[in-house]
């Protein structure tokens, strides 16, 4: 997930134009297309909510031929053979997906993230923080409803001022 420093994933009008930083941090790493490709090669399946799916359609489909499962309560269709739609019990769905796909990447969506955290279905959180304060909008970690211990695994700083933090979710 990409977040502003004050914890928002979208402006009040739901726009995402703030995600492109104009900052320059000389000591940061340059994020290359090869870095992104290497990361994406390790993803076996994407899991997302319906709003994230709608945003992906508007922005241009970035998921290629990797399987995508969209959580939705509406009947939907997509011509891509790699896209499927699911509803029902989230725990059962994720457990079934794990048998088929060892590395599931939940992309976007504070509601989906909240539901998965509440049900202990997340093993790791990768949070990229952009150098901006939005002052309002859609919060990322909104009403998780429980304390969750994390273990910092890695921090990477980038030349555009973005800071990526990777946390293991500690199981209680």
- Can you give the pLDDT at residue 103? 95
In the predicted structure, residue 50 carries a pLDDT above the cut 80: yes
Mean pLDDT, the chain, whole residue set: 91
13-46 pLDDT, tens digit each:
988 889 888 899 999 999 898 988 898 889 999 9
124-137 pLDDT, tens digit each:
999 999 999 999 99
In the predicted structure, residue 94 carries a pLDDT above the cut 80: yes
Assign 46 to helix, strand or coil: strand
> Which helix (H) or strand (E) covers residue 3, if one does?
strand 2-4
């Amino acid at each position: 997930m990409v977040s502003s420093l004050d914890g928002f994933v979208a402006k009040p009008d739901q726009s995402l134009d703030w995600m492109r930083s104009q900052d320059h941090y000389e000591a940061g790493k340059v994020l290359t297309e090869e870095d992104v490709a290497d990361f994406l090669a390790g993803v076996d399946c994407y899991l997302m909510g319906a709003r994230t799916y709608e945003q992906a359609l508007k922005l241009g489909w970035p998921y290629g031929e990797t399987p995508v499962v969209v959580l939705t309560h509406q009947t939907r269709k997509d011509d891509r053979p790699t896209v499927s739609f699911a509803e029902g019990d989230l725990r059962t769905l994720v457990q079934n997906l794990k048998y088929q796909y060892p590395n599931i990447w939940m992309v976007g969506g504070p509601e989906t993230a909240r539901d998965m955290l509440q049900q202990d279905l997340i093993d790791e959180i990768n949070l990229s923080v952009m150098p901006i304060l939005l002052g309002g909008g859609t919060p990322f970690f909104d009403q998780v409803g429980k304390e969750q211990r994390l273990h910092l695994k890695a921090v990477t700083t980038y030349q555009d001022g973005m800071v990526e933090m990777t946390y293991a979710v500690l199981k209680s």
